[in-house]
Amino acid sequence: MKKLFLAVVALIVAVLPLGAEAAMIQSGTSYVLDGSQTLDESLYASGGTISVAGKVEGDVVVAGGSVTVSGTVMGDVLATGGTLNITGTVTDDVRVAGGQILIDTNIPGDLNVAGGSVTVTHDSLIGGDILIAGGTVELFGEVAGDIHGAGEEVTLDGTIGGSVRLYADRVTLLRSARISGDLVYSSEREATLEEGALVLGELTHNTYSKMFPGNLGLGIAGLLITGWIFKLITTLIAALLLFLIFTRLSGSIIRKNATSFWKQAGIGFLIAVVGPIAAGLLFITIIGSAVAGAVLAVYVFLLVLAGAYAGILAGNWIFRWLRKDKNFSGNWASISVGVIVLSLFYLLPPLLLINVVFFLSALGAVGQFGWEAVRGSKNK
């Protein structure tokens, strides 16, 4: 069993987006690395506006309202934001999630992307595979590998070296589309192939009614796939930034959880149950609505933190077990493994209980830490 688990973890680590320990950590309203600057380490940044126009010798892990990577990244790019523009040089993989996403560059590795609107331009070249999901998806560049995608509208107009598998409401191949492998798509409508579009392999159309009972509409499958990819990328970024920006806080939570896992799971269960009940009771009182609003705000904040810290704690427990090191207190690799493992468990209903337990333990951990911090400030 342990050998199997080690193999799974090794596979996960092999595709992790990070590869360097040294890093510059930035947070604030904005961050700019201008074209004349070179960063000899990885970059971790969060803010309203993120612009990377210079050269980064390591990886780029960023989260912001508007994110632009127009410089040179010698590692991977992992980013989330409202608007994402990846137009610079990236030497490895790109994993992004956001509202409006533009990919206009050559990527030697894989591209994983989830967003409301996703465009891969004609000038782009993807050397690996593409995993893509969104509302409107436009793939116009050249892809050496396979494409797996989901969306409301998916349009292809480039050369694909492998096969294409899609879940979509509308599938369109424009005149310049060339698919060397198979095209397998699931949709309630026939795909539109313009004159000149070419599929060298088999073309297979699966209707949604054959796959799911009840004719619910293919959009559900696309939304589920999009949601899973989006959640994986954003949770991974949030967990990494939390750990790297708030290193001492995260270390304290990890160490406390290592000795009080089940106690904190119990505290988390109480928070999950009591929080909304307390807010509801306050709302029905004359003077309690403002307090109830504050309680709900804190409650939601704790839930968001717990969602990120669940992966951090899961990865810590996995690495403690693998390394047989009771003093291990987390690093980028353990966090990435933890987030990915819990995300995979969402796809396996029998293992969902593990996710719930880690979430409750994380909720109890951040709740307990917050309570102790409040008590400590009052005693000063």
* 133-140, long-range: CB < 8 A, 24+ apart: 133/222, 133/225, 133/226, 133/229, 133/230, 134/101, 134/226, 135/226, 137/168
Among residues of the chain, what percentage have pLDDT more than 70?
84
- Name the band, by pLDDT with cuts 50, 70 and 90, for residue 28: low
Side-chain-facing half-sphere of 285: CA atoms under 13 Å: 12
pLDDT value of position 377? 63
- Please tell me whether residues 149 and 295 are part of one structural domain: no
Q: Let me know: does 127 contact 113? Beta carbons within 8 Å.
A: no
Instruction: Tell me whether residue 170 is in a domain.
Output: yes
Tens-digit pLDDT profile for residues 188-225: 889 999 999 999 999 999 875 544 444 444 445 555 66
27-36, 283-292, 344-353: least confidently modelled range: 283-292
Q: Verify that 314 and 178 share a domain, yes or no.
A: no
Q: Does residue 48 lie within any of the structural domains?
A: yes
According to the model, what pLDDT value does residue 177 have? Answer: 95
> Across all residues in the chain, what is the average pLDDT?
83
**69 and 170 both lie in a single domain:** yes
**Mean pLDDT, rounded, for 37-50:** 88
Please check whether residues 143 and 258 belong to one and the same domain.
no
Does residue 378 register a pLDDT over 80? no
> Is 224 within the bounds of a domain?
no
Report the pLDDT value the prediction gives residue 286, as an integer from 0 to 100. 58
What is the pLDDT at residue 210?
Answer: 47
Q: How many structural domains does the chain have?
A: 2
Say yes or no: 283 and 365 in one domain.
Answer: yes
Give residue 334's domain range: 246-379
- Whether 239 maps to a domain, the answer reads no
Identify the pLDDT of residue 8.
41
pLDDT at 100: 92
326 plus 213 within the same structural domain: no
Q: Is the domain of 77 the same as that of 29? A: yes
| pLDDT score, position 212 | 46
> 294 and 173 in one domain?
no
C-alpha 166/C-alpha 3 separation (Å) is 34
Same-domain status, 47 and 152: yes
Predicted model pTM: 0.70
Q: Are residues 319 and 187 in the same domain?
A: no
Distance CA 282, CA 352 (A): 33
Higher per-residue confidence, 329 vs 155? 155
Answer yes or no: is pLDDT of 3 > 80: no
68 and 206 inside one domain = yes
106 vs 342: CA distance, rounded Å? 31
Of residues 272 and 238, the one with the higher pLDDT is 272
Q: Which of the listed residues 219, 237, 270 is the one where a domain comes to its end?
A: 219
Q: Are residues 254 and 209 in the same domain?
A: no
Q: Taking each helix axis as running N to C, give the angle between helix 352-379 and helix 247-259, from 0 to 180 degrees, rounded to the nearest 10.
A: 110
**Predicted pLDDT of residue 221:** 56
Give every strand in the sheet of 89-90, ordered side by side: 38-39, 55-56, 72-73, 89-90
226 confidence band (pLDDT: 50, 70, 90)? low
